[in-house]
Homo-oligomer: A and B are copies of this chain.
Amino acid sequence: MKIEGVFAPVATPFNDDGSINFEMYSNNLEKLAKTSLAGIVSLGSNGEFAMLSYEEKLELVKATRKELPKDKALIVGTGCETLSDTIRMTNNAAEAGADVALVINPSYYKSDLSDAVLQKHFECVADKSQIPVMLYNIPRNSGINLSSSLVIKLSAHPNIKGVKDSGGNITQISEILASVPESFSVFAGSGGYLFVTTILGGKGGTLAVANVAPDYCTELFEAAKSGSVEKGRKMQLDLMALNNAVTAGFGIGGMKAAMEIAGFRVGIPRLPIQPAPDEIKDKIYKMMDKLQLVGKYRD
């Protein structure tokens, strides 16, 4: 299977009591499945994976696979702090229907996690995983950057098939693209550099903003892929403000607010994370209005 196209890292809706609202979740998936997206990332950072128990995670993967048509790929975030948990989660996710495992590095014990240790870790996971592994680099949250030289070394493993780079260092992304096999998928981890990553040879992206503007994002991706530079540039630049609002700018609260404005229902974040305050919602509303996204995915 090819890991290609634009994926939405779907939000996990929570009820006011903090429990998962599976009805909202399925409803959102149903809508996203009707868009032009290549697939869904479940248990990504935007899905609040770090806030979920092991059991909740598996339930979500099952619910995702159940709702998702066969032609939509399912990437699942499976990385944990320990090697054994990561392998177990990866294979449980595979059994629950995941096509690809998106594996974040362990990160708590930073002074123990050299490039050499991380290399061994990812190789062991890939050896044991029943499904292809995609590396997940998100230094802003994990505090560790997967260096271009590490990613290039890991790209030689037959079961490591790509990297989702949420670091956004385009020099590093270019160094990786210059040295990995053609079959290795480099994904933009944010809508802020989907266009340029694709122009450089990237195969797609998994983007918070694809939760709010899925068709816009795939159209932008296709423009890049087909070399429609004028169109792609314009779409990319028009997306910048909203893209910032739903990730770095206003966090999970911002993304959930934007999804509600677009017509999804996502409840509140899990505590201690807070919903976006009204002034942020107003800002996001205006950004989305400009791109004609308000209410676009309402029932």
Q: Which of B174, B229, B269 contacts A240 (CB 8 A)?
A: B174
Cβ < 8 Å to B, chain A residues 233-252: 233, 236-238, 240-241, 243-244, 248-252
| Interface-centre pick from A111, A124, A141, A272 (highest chain B CB count, 10 A) | A272
The distance from the CB of A243 to the nearest CB of chain B, in whole angstroms, is 8
Chain B CB within 8 A of A84 CB: yes
B251 near A112 with CB under 8 A, answer: yes
Chain B CB within 8 A of A168 CB: yes
B192 near A174 with CB under 8 A, answer: yes
Contacts of A240 in B (CB 8 A): 171, 174-175, 178
A174 near B237 with CB under 8 A, answer: yes
The distance from the CB of A229 to the nearest CB of chain B, in whole angstroms, is 4
A195 near B190 with CB under 8 A, answer: no
| Interface-centre pick from A82, A177, A238, A243 (highest chain B CB count, 10 A) | A82
Number of identical monomers bound together in the oligomeric complex: 4
* Known A18-B84, A113-B272, A272-B117; contact A192-B178, beta-carbon cutoff 8 A: no
B112 near A252 with CB under 8 A, answer: yes
A238 near B84 with CB under 8 A, answer: no
Scan A173-211; emit 1 where CB is below 8 A from any B CB, else 0.
Answer: 011011000000000001011011001110000000000
Contacts of A174 in B (CB 8 A): 192-193, 196, 236-237, 240
B237 near A178 with CB under 8 A, answer: yes
| A111–B273 CA distance with the chains assembled, in angstroms | 10
Besides A168-B170, A200-B233, A201-B233, 10 other A-B contacts (C-beta < 8 A): A45-B108, A50-B109, A108-B141, A108-B142, A168-B169, A170-B170, A174-B237, A174-B240, A199-B199, A200-B236
Please give me the 10 A-B residue pairs with the lowest Cβ-Cβ distance, nearest first.
A112-B251, A121-B272, A171-B192, A178-B237, A196-B196, A83-B271, A50-B108, A170-B170, A111-B251, A143-B143
Query: Can you pick out 28 interface pairs between chain A and chain B where the beta carbons lie within 8 Å of each other?
Result: A18-B84, A83-B271, A84-B271, A108-B141, A109-B251, A110-B141, A111-B140, A113-B272, A117-B272, A120-B274, A170-B193, A170-B196, A171-B193, A171-B248, A174-B193, A174-B196, A174-B236, A178-B238, A178-B240, A178-B241, A195-B200, A196-B199, A200-B236, A201-B233, A201-B237, A227-B229, A227-B230, A229-B229
